[in-house]
Amino acid sequence: MANSKMIPLLKESNNKEILNCISSQEEVNCLIEFEKEIASYVGVNGALAVNSGTAAIHLALMLLEVRAGDIIYCSTLTSIASANPITYQGAQPVFIDSEPETWNMSPRALEKALKDAAKNSKLPKAIIVVNLYGQCAKMDEILKLCHFYQVPIIEDSSHALGSMYKGKPSGTFGDFGVYSLGPRKIISNSSGGVLLSNDSKYIEYAKHLATQARESPPFYHHTRTGYSYIMSNILAGIGQQQLLVLDKNVILKQKVFNQYQEQLANVDGIDFVYEQEDTLSNRWLTVILIDEKLIGQNVYQIVLQLEKYGVETSFIHKPLHLQPVFEGCKYYTHDDRESVSTNLFQRGICLPSSVDLTIEDQIKVIDSLK
C-alpha cells in the first residue's frame, strides 16, 4: 500500500475488515460477500467480481458463444475497452452512432443497422450498449428493437453504477450488465469489474472461465482455455467498503454538476447533457459542449489555456469508428447529414469532477473557463 494513489480508497474503509480478508480468508471471504452485496444493491440474481470491466465484457461475449466471424454492434462513443473484447473473440465490430439527447447509442441508427442485417440474414450475435459518463441510454427503445430481432444485450455501465432508468438501476436491463471499479470511477478498488446476470448458471460458468477453467477432478484438469480474471480477495474487501459510500458519492457528484450548471448554463456557447425524464445520472463526469462560433476558440485551444491556469481537463472519448485500429469497420449514423458522435467529440470537454473537489477549486475552474 505504499502507492499514495491507493490511500483515498481506504479513507471510508474499515481497515480491520480488509485485513481479515488477507489473514483469515476461510472466516471472511470478502469476494463472495462483495458479490452478494452488489447483486443485492442493484437487484439481480447474480454477480461475478473480476479484475476489470473489460474482463466482464469478454466473459459475457464468451457466455454468448461469440466466435470468429460473428458480428457485434457496439456504441461508438465510448472507451476502446468496450470494444476490445470483441476482437479477443475474433468477431467483427459494427459501430452505432450516438443520439444528441443522451449522447448514447442512437435507437434510430440501431434500427437502420438491424434492418440491414435482417435483409442480409446476418444479425449480430450481441449488442454492447454503453451508458456514457453515467447517463443512461434510451433503454426502452433499444430493448424493443433487440427483443424484436432477438439479439442479446450487454449493458456496459462501467461509468454508471448508481444511475437509474425509470426506477431501475443502470446495468440491469440487458442479458448481462457490466460495472467498472477501476481508477477514478464513482467507487473504486483500484482495479476491478463486475459481471451481472439474472441467470445464476451464466454467473457460475463465467466464474469457471475466470478461474482458468479448471474442471472438477482434485488435480489440475482443463478441457478449454480459461482466464485469470477473478478479483482478488483484498480488492473485494476494498470494494465492500467502497459500496457503502456509493450513494453519498452520487450525491456529491450531482452537487458538482449542479454547481457547474448553475454558473455556466447562461454562458453563450456552453451546453450540458441533461437528464432525461424518469432517469437519474450519477454524474460521474461533468462534460460541457463548446460552440466554437460563439466562444471563438475550439476545444483544443481551451484545454491548453485551462492547463496554463492550472486546471486539468480532458477531451471526451474519440469515437471508435474513427480509431485507426478499427479502420474499415461498418458505422451507422443517427443522422444522414452528420455523425452525432463525431460532433460531440469535436466539442466536448470533461471538467474536474472528483467527489473531493472543494468549492474553492470548482470556482477556480469556473472562473478560468469564463
Q: What is the pLDDT of residues 4-15, one digit of tens each?
A: 333 334 444 456
> Is the confidence at residue 72, as pLDDT, over 60?
yes
Q: Specify the pairing of strand 331-332 against strand 92-96.
A: parallel
CATH number of 4-245: 3.40.640.10
- 230 pLDDT band, cuts 50/70/90, is very high
- 1 pLDDT band, cuts 50/70/90, is very low
Report the pLDDT averaged over residues 146-171.
98
CATH number of 247-369: 3.90.1150.10
Q: Is 313 helix (H, G, I), strand (E, B) or coil?
A: coil
Stated pTM of the model: 0.92
> Is the confidence at residue 201, as pLDDT, over 90?
yes
Please tell me the predicted confidence (pLDDT) of residue 20.
Answer: 58
The one-character DSSP state at 66 is -
Please tell me the predicted confidence (pLDDT) of residue 219.
Answer: 77
Report the pLDDT averaged over residues 339-365.
97
**Residue with cell string 425509470:** 166
How far apart CA 231 and CA 229 sit, in angstroms, is 7
Cell readout for 36 is 452478494
Report DSSP letters for 219-233, one per residue: S--BSS---B-BPPH
Report the pLDDT averaged over residues 46-67.
98
Q: Domain map of the chain by residue range?
A: 4-245, 247-369
Please tell me the predicted confidence (pLDDT) of residue 26.
Answer: 43
Cell readout for 146 is 433487440
Q: What is the mean pLDDT of the chain?
A: 92
283 within 8 A of 353, measured Cβ to Cβ = yes
Q: Is 161 helix (H, G, I), strand (E, B) or coil?
A: coil
How far apart CA 315 and CA 300 sit, in angstroms, is 8
Alpha-helical segments (H) within the chain: 7-10, 15-23, 30-42, 53-63, 84-88, 107-119, 139-149, 200-210, 233-243, 246-264, 292-295, 299-308, 340-347, 359-369
